[in-house]
């Protein structure tokens, strides 16, 4: 990714985050800090509010009972400086793959760099599918196209919701490595159900639990730079610690 003013690292702080859904309070008075230029991973049981938190930060979770204060370290609004990769690929069926990757710039009326989009598609293993229709792709391939679109956005803050969950084991490791390289220096919040993935990529790892949900007060902070090796003894030992935390949080 090119280094531009829009990609300067910033920290993000959420104060008093609150979301109510169908009369149930998912979380309230929730404070979250995303350190500048670091990858924060978030784990927890299904339905606890992880995806909702991503939507709240991105400005998509609105309503009379929903809100909070999202502050950036440079004092500027986050709007326009954040990319969100949802669980579903949301590829437009009437556009080919490369045009789906370029969708953001197209909607904003910006100059489109098809060469750059094709470079990123090659990085995620879809070079031969740039002109294909989304309905010809497998589920894992659509997810890779969505990852390429997220990387193409070139934003300083990136929110990712289980970005590698639909991939086979080898492709998952390869794309985790790619994400670690291409998101270096970005402020990232990555939701995952995979403890090993969190330990490979995360600089800080939180567990979300409870109703209303809270974050643990003592996040794990793995040693070394991402991506960490899957067979690193330190990573494997930390995986046991993280699994115990998840089991305790689910009680």
pLDDT of residue 112: 82
Q: What is the mean pLDDT of residues 7-11?
A: 81
Half-sphere exposure of 244 toward its Cβ, with a 13 Å CA cutoff?
Answer: 7
Banded model confidence at residue 4, pLDDT cuts 50, 70, 90: very low
When the pLDDT of each residue in the chain is averaged and rounded to a whole number, the result is 92
Residues 142-176 pLDDT 10s? 999 999 999 999 999 999 999 999 789 999 999 99
Tell me which long-range contacts 78-83 makes (C-beta under 8 A, separation of at least 24).
78/12, 78/157, 81/6, 81/10, 81/155, 81/156, 81/157, 82/57, 82/58, 82/155, 82/156, 82/157, 82/158, 82/159, 83/150, 83/153, 83/154, 83/155, 83/157, 83/158, 83/159
Residues 98-122 pLDDT 10s? 999 999 999 998 888 999 999 999 9
| pTM attached to this predicted model | 0.93
Residues 70-84 pLDDT 10s? 999 999 999 999 999
pLDDT of residue 132: 98
- Give the CA-trace dihedral at 239, 244, 246, 247, to 10 degrees: 140
Nearest to 199 by CA among 166, 232, 222: 222
In angstroms, the CA 120 to CA 201 distance is 20
Residues 172-222 pLDDT 10s? 999 999 999 999 999 999 999 999 999 999 999 999 999 999 999 899 999
């Amino acid at each position: 990714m090119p280094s531009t003013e829009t990609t300067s690292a910033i920290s993000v702080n959420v104060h008093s985050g609150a979301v109510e859904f169908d009369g149930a309070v998912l979380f309230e008075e929730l404070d979250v800090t995303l350190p500048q230029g670091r990858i924060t991973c978030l784990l927890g049981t299904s339905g606890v509010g992880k995806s909702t938190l991503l939507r709240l930060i991105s400005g998509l979770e609105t309503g009379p009972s929903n809100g909070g204060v999202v502050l950036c370290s440079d004092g500027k609004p986050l709007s326009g400086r954040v990319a969100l990769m949802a669980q579903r690929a949301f590829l437009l069926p009437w556009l080919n793959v490369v045009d789906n990757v370029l969708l953001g710039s197209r909607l904003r009326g910006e100059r489109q760099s098809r060469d750059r989009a094709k470079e990123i598609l090659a990085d995620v293993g879809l070079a031969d599918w740039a002109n294909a229709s989304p309905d010809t792709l497998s589920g894992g391939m659509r997810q890779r196209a969505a990852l390429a679109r997220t990387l193409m956005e070139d934003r300083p803050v990136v929110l990712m919701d289980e970005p590698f969950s639909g991939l086979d084991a080898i492709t998952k490791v390869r794309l985790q490595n790619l994400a670690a390289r291409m998101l270096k220096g970005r402020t990232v919040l990555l939701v995952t159900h995979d403890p090993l993935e969190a330990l490979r990529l995360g600089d800080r790892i939180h567990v979300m639990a409870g109703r209303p949900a809270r974050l643990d007060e003592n996040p794990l902070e793995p040693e070394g730079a991402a991506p960490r090796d899957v067979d690193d003894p330190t990573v494997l030992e930390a995986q046991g610690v993280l699994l115990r935390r998840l089991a305790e949080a689910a009680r």
